[in-house]
């Protein structure tokens, strides 16, 4: 296995609260991985550890076999782009300027974007359907538009690894499929590793190679969607009774809640 992310014996505390408890897993380069789990189970905390925004009190994270603590900020930003769950967009910048900031790791101090940078920015904005918003103030767009703008910014970093924390939570169904399909295309055609959290279990099952199911700061199950998304696991982790239907020729598990 060509491992691109390795999480070893990771434990994390906020104050004295242990939020992540001895997490271990490896992610293969070029795979599409979703992290599922209830609210407050530790998904965002895990992603923030993986992108070096939070520091574990025990354990290590390796990116391409290098300890994340030894990777310089700009180098990490070329390797990994992150779309956060709640980005504070309270700036006086245009949508275009916000997306263009993704090119920062490639520019020298005070260097302006070149026409090559412009082409990358424009393509990312067209792919995420935000090019028409380019001159608007970032404060004056909708929640779903802002989410797509942040995906566009991450794409301009041209990362090997794309980390997304609930990238479709504010999107309508067309744009949900649009963003997930774009991630799948980048994954298949450019071998970009995708690691995302997502609350839609059925979409996670449809798009992911593997699912990491987290419960209360521990990994409950990590495997293919078929093996993770079982009635037992869903009931144990979410406390909800469901029936699983296997959809289509590839038998993707589809979760139907039993209670109304
Ligand atoms: N800055 C913080 N300080 C203290 N505790 C925090 C902080 N951020 C999160 N927590 C706590 O850590 C736990 C895990 O939070 P986290 O945001 O990782 O959950 P999550 O699985 O991403 O949830 P959601 O599905 O709601 O996004 C929660 O109990 C939360 O209250
Ligand atoms: Mg979260």
CATH number for the domain that contains residue 190: 3.40.50.300
What distance in Å separates the CA atoms of residue 47 and residue 161, rounded to the nearest whole number? 12
40: left (phi over 0), alpha (psi -120 to 50) or beta: left
Distance 7 CA to ligand 2 centre (A): 18
Summarised one tens digit per residue, pLDDT across range 143-189 is 889 999 999 999 999 999 999 999 999 899 999 998 999 999 999 99
Instruction: Kindly give the number of the ligand 1 atom that is closest to the alpha carbon of 17.
Output: 5
Q: According to the model, what pLDDT value does residue 112 have?
A: 82
Distance set, CA 208 to CA 23, 31, 231, 242 (Å):
20, 8, 18, 20
Distance 237 CA to ligand 1 centre (A): 17
Distance 84 CA to ligand 2 centre (A): 9
Structural tokens at position 27: 């992610």
Q: Average pLDDT in the 204-223 region?
A: 97
CB-defined site of ligand 1, < 6 Å: 14, 19, 37, 39-45, 85
Q: Which ligand is nearest to the CA of 35?
A: 1
Relative to beta strand 80-83, strand 66-67 is: unpaired
Q: Is 45 exposed, middle or buried (0-12, 13-18, 19+ CB in 10 A)?
A: buried
Q: Choose one of 42, 82, 163 to mutate for the ligand 1 pocket test, by most ligand atoms within 8 angstroms of C-beta.
A: 42
Distance 13 CA to ligand 1 centre (A): 11
Structural tokens at position 255: 């979760």
246: containing domain:
3-257
Distance set, CA 187 to CA 34, 89, 192, 232 (Å):
13, 28, 5, 30
Q: According to the model, what pLDDT value does residue 111 have?
A: 79
Distance 116 CA to ligand 2 centre (A): 35
* Residue owning tokens 């070893």: 8
Domain count of the chain? Answer: 1
Summarised one tens digit per residue, pLDDT across range 96-120 is 999 999 999 998 877 788 899 999 9
Summarised one tens digit per residue, pLDDT across range 29-84 is 999 999 999 999 999 999 999 999 999 999 999 999 999 999 999 999 999 999 99
Q: According to the model, what pLDDT value does residue 94 have?
A: 96
Summarised one tens digit per residue, pLDDT across range 216-252 is 999 999 999 999 999 999 999 999 999 999 988 888 8
Q: According to the model, what pLDDT value does residue 7 have?
A: 98
Q: Which ligand is nearest to the CA of 214?
A: 1
């Amino acid at each position: 296995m060509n491992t691109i992310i390795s999480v070893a014996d990771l434990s994390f505390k906020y104050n004295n609260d242990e939020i992540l408890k001895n997490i271990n897993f490896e992610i293969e380069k070029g795979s599409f991985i979703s992290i599922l789990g209830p609210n407050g189970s530790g998904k965002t905390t895990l992603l923030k550890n993986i992108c070096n925004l939070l520091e574990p009190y025990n354990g290590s994270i390796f990116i391409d076999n290098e300890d994340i603590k030894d990777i310089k900020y700009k180098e990490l930003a070329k390797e990994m782009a992150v779309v956060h769950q709640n980005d504070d967009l309270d700036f006086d910048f245009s949508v275009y300027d916000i997306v263009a900031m993704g090119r920062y790791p490639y520019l020298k101090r005070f260097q302006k974007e070149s026409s090559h940078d412009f082409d990358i920015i424009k393509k990312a904005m067209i792919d995420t359907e935000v090019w028409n918003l380019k001159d608007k103030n970032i404060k004056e767009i909708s929640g779903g538009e802002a989410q797509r703008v942040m995906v566009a910014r991450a794409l301009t970093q041209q990362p090997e690894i794309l980390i997304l924390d609930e990238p479709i939570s504010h999107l309508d169904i067309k744009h949900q499929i649009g963003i997930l399909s774009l991630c799948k295309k980048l994954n298949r055609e450019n071998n970009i590793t995708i690691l995302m959290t997502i609350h839609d279990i059925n979409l996670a099952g449809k798009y992911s190679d593997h699912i990491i199911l987290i419960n209360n700061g521990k990994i409950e199950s990590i495997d293919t969607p078929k093996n993770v998304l079982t009635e037992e696991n869903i009931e144990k982790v979410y406390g909800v009774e469901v029936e699983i239907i296997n959809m289509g020729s590839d038998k993707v598990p589809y979760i139907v809640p039993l209670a109304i």
